[in-house]
Amino acid sequence: MSAEVIVVGGGIIGLTTAVTLAERGRRVRVWSRDAVTGTTSAVAGALWWPYRIEPEAEVGGWSLESLRVYERLAADPVATGVRMVPGVHADTVLDGLGSWAGEVAGLRQLAAAEVPGPYVAGLAARLPLIDMPVHLQWLRARLEAAGGVVERRTVTGFAEAAAEARVVVDCTGLGARELASDERLRPVRGQLVLVENPGITEWFTAADAASSQPTYFFPQPGRLVLGGTAQEGDERLDADPATAEEIVARCARIRPEIADARVLGHRVGLRPARTGGVRVEAEPLPGGGRLVHHYGHGGAGVTVAWGCARKAADLACAAD
């Protein structure tokens, strides 16, 4: 029992944390309410980029650590779901980014004439773009190969997990509002439209963190993912038809062929944003155990997953 850890939450944060712990020799169980491909993480467009996440002082390091992992995983894209894909961040300038940007190979400022659409500034980059359903399944398989297991289980309190493991890691995302009584958490609703890809091979974003209507499209295997929304405090999980039309129209202003692409489906997810930023900290459990909180990654859980997982794992292992 002394080496066992229960990770509560089976999304990208929970699985990367579980893999990190299992590969350090811990016996790990993941308790997830949903199948891994039914989590909020499975909805993500999943381009690596620090977007809508705090604290700024730590995000750069976490992001770069994760970037190096994804660069390696991109050597086997069919298995891992990770590909290195070129694209443009419109309405973005290098001087407005943190020092982390200097560590991203090939990131460069574009001349105004090179930026698609009605934008006068932009950056070109070749970044990890992740097919999340594939990647989540790959993470589960990697966890199982390291001796871990994933169990479908709905948790109503951490005492349930603490009764079976000395260390519990809380990767419940928005669920931590209730489970951890954290009033700093708030949902940021994201809606996507999936369409047949009319031949687009590069991603595009115009995603001002202050805007509730970011525009982006990501070429994923078998589909083009169009976005999006960033609606603070909105918890609707049903796709809104009018919003979907607006998303298609905004993307078609950048690439007109999108307007005629056949719609394959719609996706909605709630980003777990948190005032004050990501919470990665430990507190004692009765009987000498430890509860590690690891949530609040906003719109960049994929971007920081591996860097944050290392920090959470360090806290979990400190209980030994």
pLDDT at position 153 = 96
Over range 213-226, report the average pLDDT.
Answer: 97
Q: How confident is the model at residue 297 (pLDDT cuts 50, 70, 90)?
A: very high
Nearest to 40 by CA among 141, 148, 147, 191: 191
Domains delineated in the chain: 4-317 (3.50.50.60)
Q: What is the pLDDT of residues 60-115, one digit of tens each?
A: 999 999 999 999 999 999 999 999 999 999 999 999 899 999 999 999 999 999 99
For the ranges 68-72, 126-130, 205-209, 302-306, the lowest mean pLDDT is seen at: 205-209
pLDDT at position 3 = 53
Kindly state the tokens that stand for 99.
């020092």
∠ at Cα 171 (216, 219), nearest 5°? 20
Average pLDDT over all residues of the chain: 95
220: Cβ contacts below 8 Å, ≥ 6 apart: 129, 131
For the ranges 48-62, 187-201, 230-244, the lowest mean pLDDT is seen at: 48-62
The secondary structure of residue 257, as a DSSP letter, is G
Is the pLDDT score of 180 beyond 50?
yes
Q: What is the pTM of this model?
A: 0.95
Bond into 299 cis (ω within 30): no
Nearest to 215 by CA among 320, 313, 122, 316: 122
The SS3 call for residue 5 is strand
pLDDT at position 194 = 98
Q: What is the pLDDT of residues 4-57, one digit of tens each?
A: 999 999 999 999 999 999 999 999 999 999 999 999 999 999 999 998 889 988
Residue 145: left if φ>0, alpha if ψ -120 to 50, beta else—which one? alpha
Is the pLDDT score of 319 beyond 80?
no
Q: How confident is the model at residue 1 (pLDDT cuts 50, 70, 90)?
A: very low
Q: How confident is the model at residue 2 (pLDDT cuts 50, 70, 90)?
A: very low
Bond into 284 cis (ω within 30): no
pLDDT at position 146 = 97
pLDDT at position 208 = 74
Kindly state the tokens that stand for 159.
């005492």
Q: What is the pLDDT of residues 252-280, one digit of tens each?
A: 999 999 999 999 999 999 999 999 999 99
The secondary structure of residue 110, as a DSSP letter, is P
Q: How confident is the model at residue 320 (pLDDT cuts 50, 70, 90)?
A: low
Question: DSSP string of 36-74?
Answer: GGGSGGGG---B-S--S---HHHHHHHHHHHHHHHHHHT
Cβ count near 127 (within 10 Å): 23
